[in-house]
Chains A and B, each alone.
Chain A
Amino acid sequence: MADFGSESSEKKEEFFSEAQEIVDGLGKFLLDLEGAVAASRVDPDVINEMFRAVHTLKGIAGLFGATRMSGMSHELENMLDDVRMGRLDLTSNVIDLLFKAVDLYTHILLFERGEAPDPQQEIAKLLASFAAVTQPEEAPTSNIFTQFDLDPGMFGVLTEYEEHRLKSNIESGLALFRLRVRFNLTVLDTALEDLKKKAKPLGEIITYLPAPSTDESDFENLELDILMASKSDAATIDTTLSVEGLVVNPVKRRSGGGPPPKAAAAPVSKSPLPKIGAPPSLPPPTIAGPARLPQDLAPESHAAHGAKSVRPAAPAHAARTSVAPQAQGQAGQFVGKSAAQTTVRVDIRKLDRLMTILGELAIVRSAVGRLAERLRGSVEHRELGTDLHRLHRTFERQLGQMQNGILEVRMVQLGPVFDKLQRGLRAISREYSRPVNLVITGQETEIDKLIVEELSDPLMHMVRNAFDHGIEIVEDRLKVGKPEVGTIALNAFQKGNHVVIEVEDDGRGMDPKLIIASAIRKGVITEDESREMSARDAYRLVFMPGFSTKTVVTDLSGRGVGLDVVKTNIAKLGGIVDVTSEVGIGTKMTITLPVTLAIINVLIVEIGGRSFAIPLASVEEAFVYDPSLTRNVEGREVLSLRGQSLPICHLSSLFQVDAFDDASDSTRKFYVVTVAVGIRRLGLLVDRLEGQQDIVIKPLGRSLKSVHGFAGAAELGDQRVALVLDVAAIVEEVLAGDQSRFLAMAGEGRA
């Protein structure tokens, strides 16, 4: 464990969340990188970003005494440095190691939190693999630079990194250009950044140097010589960069000339090349090669300053440009600094507190509303009442906006969760040599932060399940004419107040008959029960405890659990899981989740003199109950509604509260509230409808954990607290039949 000494837990928490954020970012870069390698279009900036991210990680880990993390980061940093310097090729082996490192980071963070065993051995193993791939090899570099008429003055001061970039650009067949531009010293940094940004679509700026000024008396401007590699021509570069006074000159390729023997013999990276001859269009170089400052040669300097700083190339210019390297060095030191300036990391509990206060404000608002009504009703205070009523309306509107604002802050995109899944799937796909593509849509879908945090485990199980049980081995796929590479699709989208996430595979599908047979064998159901089962019922069996076929602990989840846990975890978030499948075509699992857990719009109903809240998100409609339209089917009351059967649940008997709905009083009216969860619908019989309200839902205490059917409770104003129905659980309990009802009763007896 890290020794945090006297650091406050808040600092520690900040470290964890910042580190986790960087690690997640690394994972994302890695996925990009893998795609780029596959398309052989690696953006060097991605590797640079990763390098800096690891560097930052090393820094903050060291600060917090997380030695395992800083140690691993150090090695990883070295490896990434090798990659960006071109000393190490990005083979799939190297990428694998990088993926492993990202996963290990997560493990280390869990360990530092005390939630996972010490990963020391895994780290040692990974570091050994690092060492194996980064064996220095002194491959003789064929000198391709000699193909170009390069100015040795400029060439001589290239850093190792720039040299590598130059080489790799020439190898990709890009042409070289020499640009001359003049910038005002005061805006040098921004102007350069701007130029680089504009140059990016065309190619890459390799290096820039202060050029000998044509006007010795000009101390306000600095002329720069820029070496750029591009696939475009000089005219295009000129118009795209559109900088005043820009001169673009192509660097000529030597016609058919083999490299001069002297140049070929010289090891490129060790000393400046001998003079090859300056391009005639440029003023003769006056910058001497050896003017490179000694610290520029040290690798640490690359790390701290990146390769971006303008180097004073000659003592004469050093004084004039010394501002730039410092400023740039600082900016490049920590990754994402500019991003950090526009975002604030907030503990979600603080938002919860705000939400609670807002809930109480809403209660005050109702009280003020009632007061206004009372005043308006009285003769002497009517005018006062009207004024108060108007104020109340404004208050109400602004409170609503504030509520939306806080809710918006809590919402995060599903993207990072999906990235994690992609890494996980990639790992198992390679492990089992069963190629599979994860196709993701809707990663920008937003959902409550608290829900997102609980989502990745269940989703990982589902993806893993799709891979294990869905995707066939290659031979089997080819036999039935499917593409060799399997596909698992992860789709997310918002649907009303819900977010739907689908995990769909194009695998072998599920055969209801086989599922039923397996369930009987495992004692999950009896043969009698199996007789009345539809295909739908059969699919649902895979979520029953004891059905899971996996007895092996998966390395992804670390817990050998089945889909029943997935279902329970999703249910805890107020969501449900449904399955559809077709033999030979594939399987689709659908999770339906509420968008937020914080504030919900509910329908208040009365049962046996008590108020209950039903989340409006699951309510389809409410209507007056007509007993003459109901029939008894298999011991269950069913109402025919527009040609469809709706099972009816008497909430008073489910909750065992005294109610007046025993039908003895035929003059009383009752109401049916139709709730829907996924595709399942249920009619809840209630005594009275009270109205709609926005509530802040709060969880019931631990001492009430054994009580099923309630998602929590909420204050309604006027000091009353109403229970909020857990519609998913009730639908499940009622429609799943006697078994789970029995379980609920057993739970009650136990408590």
Chain B
Amino acid sequence: MADIVRSPGRDLRRANDGGKRIEYLAFTLGSQIYAVPIQHIAEILKPPPITEIPRAPRNVVGIISVRGKLVTVVDLRRRFGLVESPFDRRTRILLTDTGDDEPIGLLVDEVRQVYRLAEHEIEPAAALGGDQPAYIFGIGRQDDALLVLLELKALIES
């Protein structure tokens, strides 16, 4: 995690330009960039061998062991109805930490960078129009980037 926070992609100028800012960790699924509050991500893992679970819900890839604890891994591509893609060297598992819920591993294509978003940089999900699923919390904009902001609790519980 520390590596990510200090990743070169981060724009340090924004650190002090006023207003409350929340840090989001951005990752990609296909061509779209998504982001989750970084405070809810405990760890970013390179995928270890994943044990499939017969008869498990479709979104579940399987289970992994993280330092002696079993973690269920959910494929976010399947979750969002995207076409599955094979693992490559950029594939990562985000280990969630939402406090109350058990940790879940989220399988993503690639981890990008941390964005510090001010309130005015976040639009409500309704800006996308129509009925958006509960786990889409809003749209973040910074420079040219457009981030789909995810609400982890809703994502895990649904």
Q: Binary interface profile of B, 91-102, with partner A (CB < 8 Å = 1, else 0)? A: 000000000011
- In the complex, residue of chain A having the shortest beta-carbon distance to the beta carbon of B52: A610
B72 contacts A698, C-beta separation under 8 Å: no
A609 → chain B closest CB, angstroms: 10
Output the least CB separation between A573 and chain B (Å): 19
Within A648-675, the residues touching B (CB, 8 Å) are 654-657
Interface size on B, residues (CB 8 A): 23
Instruction: Flag B68-100 by CB within 8 Å of A: 1 or 0 each.
Output: 111110100000000000000000000000000
Which of B26-34, B58-66, B111-119 lies at the interface with chain A?
A: B58-66
Question: In the complex, A657 Cα to B54 Cα: how many Å?
Answer: 7
Distance between Cα atoms of A751 and B56 in the complex (Å) = 8
A708-739: contact bitstring with B at CB < 8 Å (1 yes, 0 no)? 11101101000111110000000000000000
| Residue numbers in B under 8 Å from A722 (CB-CB) | 51
Q: In the complex where A703-B60, A719-B49 touch, is A655 in contact with B71 (Cβ < 8 A)?
A: no
Residue of B with least CB distance to A721: B51
Chain B's nearest CB lies how many Å from the CB of A599? 14
Task: Give the residue of A360, A701, A707, A720 whose beta carbon is less than 8 angstroms from that of B68.
Answer: A360
Q: Is A356 on the interface with B (CB-CB < 8 A)? A: yes
Instruction: List chain A residues, Cβ under 8 A from B148.
Output: none
Q: Does residue B120 face the partner (Cβ distance < 8 Å to A)?
A: no
What distance in Å separates the Cβ of B103 from its nearest Cβ neighbour in chain A? Answer: 8
The verdict on B124 contacting chain A, using a C-beta distance below 8 Å, is no
Q: Which of B51, B60, B68 contacts A723 (CB 8 A)?
A: B51
Q: How far is the CA of A701 from the CA of B156 in the complex (A)?
A: 12
Nearest B residue to A356, CB-CB: B68
Q: Is A700 an interface residue (CB 8 A)?
A: yes
The reply to whether the CB of A337 lies closer than 8 angstroms to some CB of chain B is: no
Contacts of A359 in B (CB 8 A): 68
Q: With A719-B48, A719-B49, A720-B49 given, is the CB distance from A704 to B72 under 8 Å?
A: yes
Q: Check if B18 is an interface residue, CB within 8 A of chain A.
A: no
Interface residues of B in 14-54 (CB under 8 A from A): 48-49, 51-54
Determine whether A702 belongs to the interface, using a CB cutoff of 8 Å to chain B.
yes
A744 at the interface (CB under 8 A from B): yes
Question: Do A702 and B102 touch across chains, with their CB atoms under 8 A apart?
Answer: yes
Interface presence of A699 (CB below 8 A): yes
A701 touches B51 (CB 8 A): no
Across the interface, which residues of A come within 8 angstroms of B65, CB to CB? 715, 719, 721
* Set of chain B residues within 8 Å of A712, measured between Cβ atoms: 70
Q: Is the CB of B60 within 8 A of A704?
A: yes
Interface size class on chain A is 20 to 34
> Which residues of chain B have C-beta atoms less than 8 A from A720's C-beta?
49, 51
Does residue B104 face the partner (Cβ distance < 8 Å to A)? Answer: yes
Contacts of A656 in B (CB 8 A): 54-55
Contact A744 B70 (CB under 8 A): no
Cβ-closest chain A residue relative to B54: A655
Q: Quick check: A713 and B51 within 8 Å, CB to CB?
A: yes
Query: Chain B CB within 10 Å — which of A698, A701, A715, A744 has the most?
Result: A701
| Main secondary structure on A side of the interface with B | mixed
User: Do the beta carbons of B63 and A751 come within 8 Å of each other?
Assistant: no
Chain A residues 535 to 549 lying within 8 A of chain B, measured CB to CB, are none
Query: Is the CB of B57 closer than 8 A to any CB of chain A?
Result: yes
Whether A703 touches B102, Cβ cut-off 8 Å, given contacts A719-B48, A721-B70, is yes
Q: How far is the CA of A356 from the CA of B70 in the complex (A)?
A: 12
Q: B55, B70, B72, B101 — which one has the most chain A CB atoms within 10 A of its CB? A: B55
Scan residues 317-370 of chain A and give those whose CB is less than 8 A from a CB of chain B: 356-357, 359-360
- Contacting residues, chain A, for B54 (C-beta < 8 A): 654-657, 707, 709, 723
Chain A residues, CB < 8 A from B57: 703-704, 706-707, 748, 751
A 613-633 to B, binary, CB cutoff 8 A, 1 in contact else 0: 000000000000000000000
A699 B49 Cβ-Cβ under 8 A:
no
For B52, what are the chain A residues with a Cβ–Cβ distance below 8 Å? 610, 657
Q: In this complex, which of B52, B63, B156 has the most chain A Cβ atoms within 10 angstroms of its Cβ?
A: B63
Tell which of A701, A707, A744 touches B102, judged by Cβ atoms closer than 8 Å. A701
Closest chain A residue to B157, Cβ basis: A703
B55 contact set on A, CB distance < 8 A: 655-656, 707-709, 744, 748
Which of B54, B60, B64 counts the most chain A CB atoms within 10 A? B54
| Whole-angstrom CA separation of A356 from B65 in the bound complex | 12
A657–B53 CA distance with the chains assembled, in angstroms? 10
Could you tell me the distance between the alpha carbons of A707 and B69 in the complex, rounded to whole angstroms? 19
Which residues, 674 to 717 on A, are CB-close (under 8 Å) to B? 698-704, 706-710, 712-713, 715
Min CB distance, B50 to chain A, in Å?
8
Known contacts: A703-B102, A707-B56, A748-B57. The answer to whether A698 contacts B69 by CB under 8 A is yes
- Of chain B, the residue at the smallest CB distance from A355 is B68
Jot down 23 A-B pairs with beta carbons below 8 A, ordered by A: A360-B68, A655-B54, A656-B54, A656-B55, A698-B69, A700-B70, A701-B71, A702-B101, A702-B102, A703-B72, A707-B54, A707-B57, A710-B53, A720-B49, A720-B51, A721-B49, A721-B63, A721-B70, A722-B51, A723-B51, A748-B57, A751-B56, A751-B57
11 extra A-B contacts, CB within 8 A, seeds A703-B72, A707-B57, A721-B70: A360-B68, A654-B54, A657-B52, A701-B63, A703-B60, A703-B156, A704-B72, A709-B54, A719-B65, A723-B51, A744-B55
Interface residues of chain A, those whose CB is within 8 Å of chain B, are: 356-357, 359-360, 610, 654-657, 698-704, 706-710, 712-713, 715, 719-723, 744, 748, 751
List 4 tightest A-B contacts by C-beta distance, closest first: A655-B54, A751-B57, A721-B51, A701-B72
